[in-house]
Each structure stands twice: as C-alpha cells, then as structure tokens.
Amino acid sequence: MTDLRLLLLSPADNVFVLREAVGEGETLVIDDRAVTLPHRLDRGHKIARRAIAPGEKILKYGAPIGSATAPIAVGEHVHIHNIKSDYTATHVIERKQEEPAQ
Amino acid sequence: MSGQLRGYPRPDGRKGIRNVVAVAYLVECAHHVGREIVAEFRGEAVHLIGFPGCFPNIYAQDMMEKLATHPNVGAVLLLSLGCESFNKYQLSEVVAASGRPVHTLTIQNDGGTRRTIEQGRAWVEEQLVALRRAETVPMALDELVIGTVCGGSDGTSGITGNPAVGRAFDMLVEAGATCIFEETGELIGCEDIMADRAATPELAAELRASVAKAATYYATLGYGSFAPGNADGGLSTIEEKSMGAYAKSGSSQISGIIKPGTLPPKGGLYLMDVVPDGEVRFGFPNISDNAEIVEMMASGCHMTLFVTGRGSVVGSALSPVVKVCANPDTYRKLEDDMDVDAGRILEGRASLDDVGAEILGLIEAVASGEETKSEQLGHREFILTYKSFEPAGPACLPSRG
C-alpha cells in the first residue's frame, strides 16, 4: 500500500505530490515500504516514487518536468537540489533567517 | 442559465458587466493628477489606468485604445501633461467614435495641478450622474469573454485551481462563450500536447512556434517565468509550472492564437501570445501578473479568473478578477481575498467538477453585478509597459481565414 498523503497524478509518474505537509521524522509508506523524512516538507512538494538515476527524466502528470542531477532514492524529496529544467534554469533567492519557510 | 445576466449595451454590439468612468494618464507626469481626481470618488466606479512612458509605442497606443473602449467602460477622461509622445488626439477620436463621452485635460494648458484636478473631478461627477441612469439589457452567457491567468503558483495550483478553471472553461466554450488563456512562457514543455488540440494543422504549427519564441526570449533574458516563491511552494522547474498552468485551458479544441489587444472571434478557446516579436527589447514580456490581466482586458475580457497557490491579493481596474485559491492553507490565511476555495479538492472535500461548476456559477453572479472579493477590497491595480508585436499570421485564426 501507499500513503494516502501521497498523490499520484499519472500512472507513468516517478514522483508523488504531497497532499499535506509532513513533519521532520514522520514516516511515509510507499509500496509497503516505510520512509522517514529527514526534514519537514510542505504541501505540493514531490517525493520519489522509485529510485531515479542521474540524467533520468522526472515524470509528473505523465509528462517530463526536468532531469535528475543526482541519484534519488525512493521517498526522497525531489526538488531543485536534485533535478533541473531541460529548458531554462530555475532562479531562487536565499531565505533570510528571520523569515521562516512556510 | 443564460438570459439571467444583464449588461450595459455598447454601440459596437458588445455589452459591459460594469459601467466605469476610466481616468487615463498618458504619461507618468500626469499620474498624480489622475490619482487625485480618482481619490475623490472612493468606492465609486471611477478607475485609474495609464501609460507611464514618454516615448511613443504602437503597442501601448493600441492597448490604451482597446482599454478605453472596453465594454465595461462608460466614459473616459484623458490626462496629458502636454509634451509627451502619446497620441492623445488619436485616442480621443477612437473613444469618441465608440460613442462614449470623452474629455481631455492637458495640465500645461489647463492651469497646472490644482486646476486640472478640479476640472477633472467636475467632469467625472457629471459622467457619474449620467452613468447611474444607464439601463441594462439581458445578456447571454455566450456574450461573455473570460480570461484566465495564474500567479503566485505553487505545487497545488496545477492539481486543484488550474484544472478546476479548465473545467469551467470547458463548460463556457460548450455554451458558446469566448475563453482566453495565456503566457506562452508558462507553456514551455507543453507545446506538443497543446498542438494536438489545434483546430487545424497550420494552427498547431503556430502554437508550437509561439512557445518556441517564448523559450528563446526567456533564455536571452536569463530567467524563466518562475519566481522564488514557486520553488518554496514545491515547483522545481519551468516545465513543471507549465504543466500546471496549461491545465487552466481545459480540454476544448483550441480555435486560434491572438496577440494582446486582438478581439477574438465570438466563441471558442484562444491562446494569447504575450511574448513580443522580433529581437528582445524593453525587458521581460510581462513584468508582473497585472500586466497579463491588462492584456486580457485589452482583448475584451469581461473578467479574469486568477488562480493562485501562494496567495496573490490583486484585483484590477475596469474588470473584476475572480481569485481561485489552489492551496487550502493559503485559503485559511487569506480567506478575505479569495473567491473560490479550490484546495478543498486536495482535502477530499470537493471534486474538480464541483469546483468547476462553482466557478461557472460565480462567473454568472459577477457578470450580474455581484462584487468579487478584490472589488470589495478596492483593488484596482493596473500596469502597462513597452512591448512590440508583429501582426499574427493567417493560420493563427483559421475561422477568420
């Protein structure tokens, strides 16, 4: 079984989307396997559905949304630290200490 | 459902869902005078629009002409400093030819700031008296032109708010209304699936070309249409954001591509190609969400459906903005600003079809005069900057060919 907090948008996808925020140290179940989150993740973030090799396409909505830049394990957070756009680079700003992530 | 709407009839055959006095400054130097005139009419249908630049621009001229003759506009006051490049004579003629009252005040000839403000307020007061007496006529759903944009997107936008708007768009197109979606820079990665929905093979090629143009344009600028808040919300790449944004278009056939300011043929779904043509000039295509809303209005949109995940609070001058909140956490934080709680879908409290039907019902209510949250709060944002476009090719509007 797979955790109800994980949303699979297309059967072809190699990522799930979090329906709700999941706290640090909490456990998610993916295909009967328990994965513990090393840090809190907000609603809408992506979790690997299976192991993904560097260079492999990330599939969401059944469509490629970028490529892996590092090996990604099942249950790992899939985001800008381990995937990149195949079109234009993603721009982020470093968050200031006094403004916590929501 | 249709037939219960009521609109203000205009000589060009279109109908407005609002009856606004537009006060338009034609250069930044006249902005303060415009703001002071409008401030006198807080809470009334007197809205400030304008163009800040002093250099001539065909696009800005066309946008102002289309906005000043928008079906929601009943009268127009033009504010000139006196030495700017904007062709106020042509704009005034276009508005007069549309059958609307129009008056131009030129600060350098009308006695400076204080006396121009006084004359402007007096003229607006006269127009308001006349507009309050204006009668409405029945209006059908197929007379509506509805646009959609998204802003402050996060990982929920493409799962709840955008596909719910897509459902509403499908119902509107089915009912014969005209729907416009946009931002080719946020369709990067969707070109093939979008081209499959084109009315003709030639239009399919144009759809692909419009996205390729956007990709090249943004690559030259060095940034995609992707803000840091998008990444905080769980979106990792422009193509991921695109897939979510694309869902706003629903599943109807795509009838054509229009440039900002082009009035689309009646009925059907159109893509607005917002990325300028030719070499990269004047900077980013749309510097913020309201620039997109202004372009939707210039193409005749009576109202704009705005999907947000992170939580945009904007509205617009001239046309209502319906805010569809994709993220249930954001909805709880910003409930006063949001018209639709699409995040219910994520929490299992509603289906996409439920929220799509709710949006359609809200469109009918707003078209019948109900104020949106941003209207109630007095949001009347407006921004217009420099751009340049070539006319669209014949393959872009097959039904007109």
What local confidence, expressed as pLDDT, does residue A91 receive? 76
- At A60-93, the pLDDT tens digits run 998 899 999 999 999 999 999 999 999 887 777 7
Q: Which residues of A touch B211 (CB under 8 A)?
A: none
Q: Is B80 helix (H, G, I), strand (E, B) or coil?
A: strand
The pLDDT, as a whole number, for residue A98 is 52
Within a domain: residue B228? yes
Residue A97 has pLDDT above 70, yes or no: no
Question: What is the rounded CA–CA span in Å between residue B196 and residue A72?
Answer: 33
Cβ contact, residue pair B239, A86, below 8 Å = yes
The answer to whether position A101 is within a domain reads: no
Contact A44 B233 (CB under 8 A): yes
Burial B99-112 (b: 16+ CB within 10 A, else e): ebbbbbbbbeebee
Compare all CA atoms of chain A with the CA of B219 and give the residue at the minimum distance.
Answer: A88
Min CA distance, B225 vs chain A (Å)?
A: 9
Residue B312 DSSP label: -
- Out of B133, B162, B185, a domain closes at B133
Does B242 fall in a domain? Answer: yes
> Which of B178, B191, B228, B154 has the alpha carbon at shortest distance from B71?
B178
Q: What is the pLDDT of residue A102?
A: 45
Q: Is residue A32 part of a domain?
A: yes
Q: Give B-chain residues touching A92 at CB under 8 angstroms.
A: 228, 231
- Say which of B219, B223, B240 has its CB closest to residue A66: B240
**Of B88, B105, B133, which closes a domain?**
B133
Is B281 inside any structural domain?
A: yes
User: What residues of B are in the A interface, CB distance below 8 Å?
Assistant: 154-156, 158-159, 188-190, 193, 215, 218-219, 223-224, 226-228, 231-240, 243-244, 309, 327-329, 346-347
Task: Tell me if A87 and B234 make a contact (CB, 8 A cut-off).
Answer: no
Is the domain of B93 the same as that of B122? yes
What's the confidence (pLDDT) of residue B224? 76
Answer whether A79 touches B (CB < 8 Å). yes
Average pLDDT over residues A15-26: 95
Q: Which of B375, B392, B358 is nearest to B276 (CA)?
A: B392
Substitution target in B160, B196, B240 with the highest count of A β-carbons within 10 Å is B240
Under the phi-then-psi rule, with left for phi > 0, alpha for psi from -120 to 50, and beta for the rest, what region is B9?
beta
- Which residues in chain B are contacts of A61 at CB distance < 8 A? 158, 243-244
Whether residue B93 is found in the same domain as residue B147:
no
A102 domain residue, yes or no: no
Query: Are B237 and A18 within 8 A, CB to CB?
Result: no
In 10 A of CB B137, how many CB atoms?
Answer: 10
Whether A100 has a pLDDT exceeding 70, the answer reads no
Same domain, B233 and B328: yes
Same domain as B293, residue B352: yes
Ramachandran sector of residue B261 (left: φ over 0; alpha: ψ -120 to 50; beta: rest): left
* Domain interval for residue A46: 6-84
Q: Cβ of A88 and B224 within 8 Å?
A: yes
Residue A94 belongs to a domain: no
Q: Domain count of chain A?
A: 1
Residues B157 and B254 in one domain: yes
In this predicted structure, what is the pLDDT of residue B134?
A: 96
Q: Are strands B178-182 and A15-18 parallel, antiparallel or unpaired?
A: unpaired
Cβ neighbours of B239 in A, within 8 Å: 63-66, 85-87
Alpha carbon distances (Å) from B374 to B18, B118, B238, B291, B323: 15, 29, 28, 17, 8
Residue A90 inside a domain? The answer is no
Specify if A31 maps to a domain. yes
Of residues A39, A59, A63, A64, the one with CA closest to residue A49: A59
Note whether residue B2 is domain-resident.
no
**Structural domain contains residue B8:** no
Does the CB of A66 have a partner CB in chain B at under 8 Å? yes
In DSSP notation, A49-77 reads: SS-B-TTPEEEETTEEEEEESS-B-TT-E
ipTM for the predicted complex:
0.89
Whether residue B12 is contained in a domain is answered as: no
Is residue A40 situated within a structural domain? yes
Question: A89, B190: Cβ pair inside 8 Å?
Answer: no
My answer on whether B101 and B165 are in the same domain is no
Which structural domain range is residue B43 located in? 20-133
Pairing verdict, β B20-25 and B73-80: parallel
Number of domains in chain B: 2
CATH of the domain at A24: 2.30.130.110
Residues with Cβ < 8 Å from B281, sequence gap 6 or more? B386, B388
Helical axes B58-68 vs B289-298, angle rounded to 10° = 70
- The token pair at B249 is 């278009």
- Angle among Cα B275, B195, B297 to the nearest 5 degrees reads 40
pLDDT given at position B401: 52
Nearest CA in chain B to A59: B240
How many Å apart are CA B48 and CA B8, to the nearest integer?
Answer: 20
In which region does residue B111 sit, left (phi positive, over 0), alpha (psi from -120 to 50) or beta (all else)?
left
End-of-domain residue from the set B79, B112, B133: B133
Domain annotation covers residue B351: yes
A95 inside domain:
no
Q: What is the pLDDT along chain B (401 residues), one digit of tens a residue?
A: 444 799 999 999 999 999 999 999 999 999 999 999 999 999 999 999 999 999 999 999 999 999 999 999 999 999 999 999 999 999 999 999 999 999 999 999 999 999 999 999 999 999 999 999 999 999 999 999 999 999 888 889 999 999 999 999 999 999 999 999 998 988 999 999 999 999 999 999 999 999 999 999 988 888 777 888 889 889 999 999 999 999 999 999 999 999 999 999 999 999 999 999 999 999 888 889 999 999 999 999 999 999 999 999 999 999 999 999 999 999 999 999 999 999 999 998 999 999 999 999 999 999 999 999 999 999 999 999 999 999 999 999 998 65
Whether residues B162 and B306 fall in one domain: yes
Same domain, B119 and B221: no
- Give me the CATH number covering residue B29: 3.40.50.2300
Specify if B3 maps to a domain. no
